[in-house]
Structure 1
């Protein structure tokens, strides 16, 4: 985890690495995003315009209009050219108008950072993109970040040399964007749900057995692992000798590399790990994105950052697409799944409390109820639900929940009823039963 207090983010490193290009693509950078967000206000003062793509945006037209709307909330005079054409303009017209409006805003160098952009928004929009780029002044840069950065149209933009790919690296006290001079395969791993891996946008479907697939996810989820760690989780003694475990491990690890290289179609390019000082660490021959790593980083930074806590928690729970590696039942998977479920439920509970404090009772209720799916033993959450139900005028449902609380927690554990539970209904002038 990265400390935020002593880490700044360099806007200059964005501008200095453009090499005259107007489009910059950010490689997957899961571990660094929370640091970036923590320094966002400083970057905005330096000339960065940050835009995160809402989930409901589905077309290029919607994207351009929403970008204009978001910029206008901070700069009311923005959008004169876009306003002239509004809904009547073609995609090409919109691209040109957005460029002119950005130029008018750029009294000094600016960068429009489009985060979580969907590559599909640019499908069949080559002319519109050309219109946008051709009309941008040298003072304006467009920065695109996407989890699936290996998909089109990014690759075609790089091939045409109309864009430059930036990596993200953390130096001692600064987060920098640096030009990627050597093309590296992009590995995107999604551990939530059944488990998916993509190499340069191509899903890996042929693992040649369960063991290579399981070891792959283990090495992804354990960025620093010793042989003792690995052998203990896969081939514990005395069921198998160390020599036999070593042989099986090396054969399986080699098989993982073969599977990835075969999917990429270029043999001997990919090595998932490097062995240094007695531990296996991520290889520098790959650019990685891992949803679980981003999830845990966001939660850690949400805990330290009260001002942006809700935003960070919402981004974290959006990554949770189901229990961790739901198709696998290895002991280490089950344990990790349990840990992540607790993290997810705790995030839901905190979001429920935040919503409840500002009077958004229905949203709070939904958060608390979902949290109980993973943490049914949380009596405090049950009490919060009962309180909200009584508060929003649902006494019958509140009483039903009290009965469920008794049946699932108090009676099985031989506990007496909490005096706070009936008091909740008394506070609202309602009889308990």
Structure 2
């Protein structure tokens, strides 16, 4: 069930009106919908997807070849720039000139798979900046260039985003409103997704190797415990090692973490290891738990509050890791997730939205199948919709679960509800 849709063409057009260069956030859930709109007849867009790694000259050559499907005469000045080995700025001016002369003239030039240019190690950041800075200045606002890339390098784009010459669309849908929020710029950004398969990004780039499981596990422990003593670390990771040996392993492992991140993750102060402050840390677990705690203190009346927590929980916490502290945290977070599902289901029921209420109760039941209150709610909802067979089947499902897992029957309250439903009294 798609509960909330983020993307509308009207909102996109209004939001990007002042910008000439638009970057699509790699982790925006609206990205595919936006690309589909560009490919439809509803937008005046030239679309091309790069198909192999390219430098700037190769980029222009591929682009010209692809865009001649829209305008058979497109690209005269771009190809001239390639033949003359023009500078990055001159290449940008040539492309802008071709876009202005294109027939029909597009509102957007959409470049898909742009990482084949942006993340090509053979193309220097200096050359890319020279090209895109000039492109932005020459385009002004018409037409607009849209880049879709699997990765966005924060250090490359941060200055242009802060200046307002480049806009990242969809970044505000992501964790902590993204790393490209012009009002919250930082020297560096660390994104940690413990509830989304354990992904880690530094300045928009993924960390794919850790030199073994120990640096990765210690990294997550530090992120999940932002204030921890050395003894707590040693007890968790090396309870059987003498202090001297544990100290040596700890410092070697900590150094490996710094090498992978390119920054110091922690600093030691006042007897505790704390965040170093070298990076702005975006941690989905921290955000998830803060939403849940706020909802406990002030029960929300808007389902979107609960949903903002639910959408963060994409996978069980570090689900491939079986360390004791991870297993314990995984269970805590799973129960909190179930609480959010129950919370939103109850709100929808109070709003008489039985379809959505049932949807979220069923999801909660998969997390905590032995909770009778969830089954009773489902029985009542099905009965209110006249779906008596489903209500009875729900009771039978509960009976089977309790018999197999606990060796007991449903409570008297649940049995009484079941009997009333069978008798047509609910």
* 1:131 is aligned to 2:141: yes
Between stretches 415-424 and 368-377, larger displacement belongs to 415-424
Aligned partner of 1:334 among 311, 327, 332: 327
- Matches for 1:180-195 after TM superposition, within 5 Å: 184-195=187-198
Per the alignment, residue 7 of structure 2 pairs with 57
RMSD: 3.9
Aligned partner of 2:230 among 227, 230, 244: 227
Residues 67 and 346 from structure 1, CA distance in 2 versus in 1: closer, same or farther, beyond 3 angstroms? farther
Aligned partner of 2:312 among 319, 331, 337: 319
Partners of 1:150 and 1:186 within 8 A in 2: no
Per-residue CA deviations over 1:10-44 (Å, capped at 9, x if unaligned) read xxxxxxxxxxxxxxxxxxxxxxxxxxxxxxxxxxx
Per-residue CA deviations over 1:177-207 (Å, capped at 9, x if unaligned) read 9886xx6121111111320111111101011
Partners of 1:351 and 1:364 within 8 A in 2: yes
Residue 306 of structure 1 and its aligned partner are, at CA, apart by 3.4
Q: TM-score, normalised by structure 2?
A: 0.60
Q: TM-score, normalised by structure 1?
A: 0.60
The number of residues matched between the two structures is 297
Highest Rg: 1 or 2?
2
Residues 423 and 67 from structure 1, CA distance in 2 versus in 1: closer, same or farther, beyond 3 angstroms? farther
Per the alignment, residue 420 of structure 1 pairs with 413
Per-residue CA deviations over 1:364-412 (Å, capped at 9, x if unaligned) read 1111111122211211111111111222222222222212211222575
* 1:393 is aligned to 2:386: yes
In structure 2, distance between residues paired with 1:299 and 1:401: 28
2:274 alignment partner, SS class: strand
* 1:277 is aligned to 2:270: yes
Per the alignment, residue 24 of structure 1 pairs with none
Residue 156 of structure 1 and its aligned partner are, at CA, apart by 5.5
Per the alignment, residue 365 of structure 2 pairs with 372
Per the alignment, residue 359 of structure 1 pairs with 352
Residues 411 and 89 from structure 1, CA distance in 2 versus in 1: closer, same or farther, beyond 3 angstroms? closer
In structure 1, distance between residues paired with 2:367 and 2:138: 47
In structure 1, distance between residues paired with 2:331 and 2:138: 47
2:268 alignment partner, SS class: strand
Partners of 1:301 and 1:312 within 8 A in 2: no
Partners of 2:193 and 2:283 within 8 A in 1: yes
Q: Which has the higher contact order (CA 8 A, sep 6+)?
A: 1
Residues 233 and 381 from structure 1, CA distance in 2 versus in 1: closer, same or farther, beyond 3 angstroms? same
Residues 55 and 151 from structure 1, CA distance in 2 versus in 1: closer, same or farther, beyond 3 angstroms? farther
